[in-house]
Structure 1
Amino acid sequence: MTVVAIEQAVAAPLATRSLADLGARVIKVERIDGGDLARGYDHVVHGTGAHFVWLNRGKESLAVDLKSEQGRGIVRSLINEADVFLQNLAPGAVERLGLGADELRSTRTELIVVNMSGFGRGGPLEQRKAYDMLIQAEAGLISITGTPETPVKTGIPTSDIAAGMYASQAVLAALLRRCRTGEGATIDVAMLDATVEWMGHALYTQMHTGAQPPRMGLSHSSIAPYDAYPTSDGQVLIGVQNDLGWRSLVTEVFGAPELADDPRFVTNVDRVRNRHECDAVVASRTKRWTAAELDVRLAAAGVPAAQVKYLDQVVEHPQLRQRDRWRTVDTEHGPTEALLPPATFADVEARMDDVPALGQHTHALLVEAGLDSDAVEDALSAGVARQAEQFQPLPR
């Protein structure tokens, strides 16, 4: 399957990278003057932006000027031979380029077109700028994230990631339908819709109680004990989600079986109602051990627990290293490690190809679009397209 994408930032590139990992050919259309904005967010991966390296492995980069008639014609020619066209330009922009879904699918009903946006089509916010933090705010995510005193956004671009996941999922569903019916699809994915969907239980709590779920920090509005608890040298996170788990915690870990039948703590409803007392009882006992000692005791008793890992520890996490989850991919300035995609197939490994330089595949794609050698040179010399210097990829 071939995907042509006019994309930038996070949401759309994540969707197409997911498809590339699964074996799709992804042609990434970029601006000739700098390409995808994410290339320059920072320069931490040998001079390339971390966001870009994360989201764009396994793609072919075509640098072309979409403001020119010839540039638009080149992209149109590639879309005409593709299975999927995905874009996240500003609302209305792709139609002004002559690449709207209705126009493209008027002659190719089998084409799958995915339009990604911040707020979706129609409605009073359709034309508003839509960055991840802004969508988190509009979706209510910030209102329930943080401490009682301070709301915060999540530390990763949650709204972008949610939209990207739903977009790739929708493409797979549309391809499956096309295999059965021959019909393509026009699909809209909004970051707002994806994020509000992820609000899940908090949204239902609001709708059915009329009460705004409070910001709980590391705690949980519906479960107790569920928080970080002190040890003699730090802290350990403990999450007890059922009454049997509570009994195991107080009996096998704390050696305090009398707490199992304490009327304040017998059920989760009781423990949530008496959260402060429950947390105090747990904290008074966790302080007896170091974090490492308590972690061993909790694991032996089957009580869910964890220690907060910093990112240097995550990079070397034994659960990832011992399961061989890291691979090496190349970028134009040097190699880097990258995680295998989360879905593991028993009989085949996901494709983990290189991160392209801006315009790395332009020459070949211009030829594929139907330009002869003279026309290719004319397009490059006129600034309609840009060809990057080639770098030697790692041997496979």
Structure 2
Amino acid sequence: MPKDLEGLLVVTLEQAVAAPYASSRLADAGARVIKLEREEGDFARRYDRCVNGLSAYFVWLNRGKESVRFNLKDPQDQQLLHNLLSKADVFIQNLAPGATERAGFGSKSLRERYPQLITCDISGYGMEGPYRDMKAYDLLVQAETGLANITGTPESGARVGVSVCDIAAGMYAQQAILQALFARERGKGGRGIEVSLYHSLSDWMNVPYLQHHYGQKTPQREGLRHPTIAPYGAYDCRDGKAVLLSIQNEREWKNLCEIVLQRPDITEDPRFATNPDRVANRAVLDEIINGVFSGLDREEVIARLNEANVAYGKLSTMEDVVTHPQNRFIQVETSAGEVKVLAPPPITPDFEDHYGAVPDLGADDTQVREEFSSS
């Protein structure tokens, strides 16, 4: 059975994470994605050698694509790009702002030449504004958007442990491209899309922004604690492992005291009568909980939490993640062998998903150049 986007041609001038994320999801859905790489390749190929000698980032984000080495300044390669775009449905690029315009491939001029083309420009801070030409990497944008300042412990801000700015931008780009493809099917022609790392993450920052700007309530860094609910956070167990618990209502609070802590007397303590009381007396409450949990292994604590029907989560190590019973995996072919990758979240039970191989640099040079030697 054909995949949903089979027959669509996507051409990319991409590197790193944001644009490759968007195009990889289009490739998963069946689009043909031709990835144009500089002679030395997408620099994400060299981030590490963790996956049988290949980069973890590159393996994750480039399955199902064709790789062609390409020089944007070379006249013959410029003609190749025009030949590709004359047949393409989508063009994605995340080069430095202005790079494609200087080479004669600005999105506006491309859509004038190819009216059905959907262009997507991904940048750090947007195509306009005083930060337009600033270099933007994920950690820098986490800081600029304020995310790093509300993440971490009271003593220090922290980076979110994965590239959330890049991933957010890639997700928004994919969403906007799919919307544009749907609009084109309704006769609206091609369109230009601009997505930036900064604006992608600033959208995610709307709740703290609104709280601060309109409510004069600035979120504080709480580590693994919830700022307005208690108990809600991480507690160490006897075996050195931690469990997070979350109390959302008075029924759960009662169950926690009676079944998990085995301290029914606490429910009568006026210091913990309501959630605001528990937040105000969090230090004392945490001391009580830690006193119980420190005498039990994590699995013993979890058994009690399950019996009490109290929400919890393990503070998983990466080894816990590798063996997590809820994992789903896909198999991806690479030149270094088959790799098991954590599966994308959408499930379509009536369709059997198949994922393409991760290309070596220039693997499709000859075939693509011959196929698109003329427009």
Which bracket does the TM-score occupy, shorter chain normalised?
over 0.9
Q: What residue number does 1:312 align with?
A: 319
Of the three residues 208, 216, 220, the one matched with 2:214 is 208
Post-superposition Cα deviations, 1:32-63, rounded to whole Å, max 9, x if no partner, equal 2x110000112222222111111111111111
Counterpart contact for 2:165–2:198, Cα < 8 Å: yes
Q: What residue number does 2:3 align with?
A: none
Alignment of 1:337 onto 2:343? no
Distance 1:363 1:209 in 2: 60
**How many residues matched?**
367
What is the CA distance between 1:349 and its match in structure 2?
Answer: 3.1
Distance 2:83 2:275 in 1: 61
Q: What residue number does 2:275 align with?
A: 268
Post-superposition Cα deviations, 1:286-323, rounded to whole Å, max 9, x if no partner, equal 23421110011112322111222221221222222xxx
1:309-388 matches, within 5 Å, as 309-320=316-327, 325-371=328-374
Q: Provide the secondary structure at the position in 2 that maps to 1:62.
A: strand
1:20-99 matches, within 5 Å, as 20-32=27-39, 34-99=40-105
Give the letter for the 1:127 counterpart. D
What is the CA distance between 1:168 and its match in structure 2?
Answer: 0.7
Moved >6 Å (runs of 4+): none
1:273-284 matches, within 5 Å, as 273-284=280-291
TM-score, normalization: structure 2?
0.93
Relative to structure 1, the CA distance from residue 111 to residue 263 in structure 2 (aligned partners, 3 Å threshold; closer, same or farther) is farther
What is the CA distance between 1:359 and its match in structure 2?
Answer: 0.9
Relative to structure 1, the CA distance from residue 185 to residue 163 in structure 2 (aligned partners, 3 Å threshold; closer, same or farther) is same
Q: What residue number does 2:259 align with?
A: 252
Give the letter for the 2:182 counterpart. L
Relative to structure 1, the CA distance from residue 83 to residue 285 in structure 2 (aligned partners, 3 Å threshold; closer, same or farther) is same
Q: Provide the secondary structure at the position in 2 that maps to 1:338.
A: strand
What is the CA distance between 1:127 and its match in structure 2?
Answer: 0.3
Q: C-alpha root-mean-square deviation of aligned residues, in Å?
A: 1.8
What is the CA distance between 1:261 and its match in structure 2?
Answer: 5.1
Distance 1:243 1:203 in 2: 30
Give the letter for the 1:351 counterpart. H
Alignment of 1:198 onto 2:204? yes
What is the CA distance between 1:371 and its match in structure 2?
Answer: 4.9
% of aligned pairs identical? 44
Q: What residue number does 1:224 align with?
A: 230
What is the CA distance between 1:367 and its match in structure 2?
Answer: 1.8
Relative to structure 1, the CA distance from residue 225 to residue 365 in structure 2 (aligned partners, 3 Å threshold; closer, same or farther) is same
What is the CA distance between 1:100 and its match in structure 2?
Answer: 1.3
Counterpart contact for 2:12–2:33, Cα < 8 Å: yes
Unaligned 5+ runs, structure 1: 373-396
Counterpart contact for 2:37–2:68, Cα < 8 Å: yes
Distance 1:301 1:194 in 2: 40
Distance 2:32 2:299 in 1: 46
Moved more, 300-309 or 49-58: 300-309
Distance 1:284 1:273 in 2: 19
TM-score, normalization: structure 1?
0.88
Distance 2:307 2:172 in 1: 38
Counterpart contact for 2:83–2:374, Cα < 8 Å: no
Counterpart contact for 1:21–1:341, Cα < 8 Å: no
Q: What residue number does 1:389 align with?
A: none
Give the letter for the 2:296 counterpart. W
Of the three residues 102, 116, 124, the one matched with 2:108 is 102
Alignment of 1:242 onto 2:239? no
Counterpart contact for 1:20–1:351, Cα < 8 Å: no
What is the CA distance between 1:191 and its match in structure 2?
Answer: 0.5
What is the CA distance between 1:369 and its match in structure 2?
Answer: 1.2
Relative to structure 1, the CA distance from residue 183 to residue 269 in structure 2 (aligned partners, 3 Å threshold; closer, same or farther) is farther
